[in-house]
Amino acid sequence: MLPKVTIIIPFYNCRYVQSAIWSALAQTHPHVEVIVVDDGSTKYTELIEPYKGRIRYIRKENGGTATALNAGIRAATGEYISWLSSDDMYDPKKVEAQLAFMLEKQAYISCTRWNLIDAEGTIIHYNVGNPIRSRIEFLQTMAKSCVINGCTIMIHKNIFQEIGLFDEALLYTHDYDLWLRVMKKYEMHYLDMTLINYRVHENMGSIQHGKEQQEEVVLVKRKHRQDLQRLIQELAAQQGKGQS
């Protein structure tokens, strides 16, 4: 039987949450668990009510996206984990296509391209992201900036037991930090398909808290710089030996 995949939807006062839940429930993969983690919302909770018979609903005190994701990971029963922001949408074949790719590659983590959509759901930019073919190139790119959209990620749950969960002290860059921690030990595989619609709107966190986010980016890059440089040098040396 194909593995179960858990889709975690962190939710906080988001009016788009129905579209996210619908896209998660519409997946063509037959073994999907959808967990909505309500991070202490004070509005739009009624939008979730029609779906409660088909999802797992967890309500907690407000603590930020990282705390909501971690609550979902702890509750997940799937072998693989996928994150869907409450204002974004999955392509119906997202889980099926990405899981098949990972099983073929024996990958523990992978990411994909994405579309940008506006507040009304109209696609405004297709196929965002550039395929990265080697581990060294991916590490070099990620050392400079986070080029991964977190909602394109699929990750084997066992990784969290080894690497740990999202750092809850990081309000805006918990994803960037985790991908770097994982990529030190596992190869990030790139599936060259567009499988999510990422919504751009005035209330999104990266617009509301841009300055704070950039300050955290600097901290995360500084935290991982030496380890990444060392790993890149080691991989380059191994590659050189293989070619000699």
Query: How many Cα neighbours within 13 Å face the side chain of 241?
Result: 6
The whole-number pLDDT of residue 205 equals 63
Angstrom distance (rounded) from CA 19 to CA 121: 10
Q: Tell the residue number behind the tokens 């986010």, with chain if given.
A: 213
| Torsion region of 127: left, alpha or beta (phi above 0 gives left; psi -120 to 50 gives alpha) | left
Where does the pLDDT of residue 75 fall: very low under 50, low under 70, confident under 90, or very high at 90 and above?
very high
Report the domain count for the chain: 1
Angstrom distance (rounded) from CA 72 to CA 135: 29
Where does the pLDDT of residue 74 fall: very low under 50, low under 70, confident under 90, or very high at 90 and above?
very high
Angstrom distance (rounded) from CA 58 to CA 37: 5
Q: Work out the average pLDDT over 163-186.
A: 98
Q: Work out the average pLDDT over 62-84.
A: 99
Angstrom distance (rounded) from CA 101 to CA 105: 6
For the chain, what is the largest distance between any 2 Cα atoms, rounded to a whole number of angstroms? 64
Where does the pLDDT of residue 133 fall: very low under 50, low under 70, confident under 90, or very high at 90 and above?
confident
What CATH number is associated with residue 92? 3.90.550.10
Where does the pLDDT of residue 241 fall: very low under 50, low under 70, confident under 90, or very high at 90 and above?
confident
Q: Tell the residue number behind the tokens 């991964």, with chain if given.
A: 148
Beta bridge partners of 111: 190
Angstrom distance (rounded) from CA 143 to CA 50: 43
Beta bridge partners of 169: none
Beta bridge partners of 241: none
Domain containing 238 equals 5-243
Angstrom distance (rounded) from CA 187 to CA 172: 24
pLDDT > 90? residue 240 = no
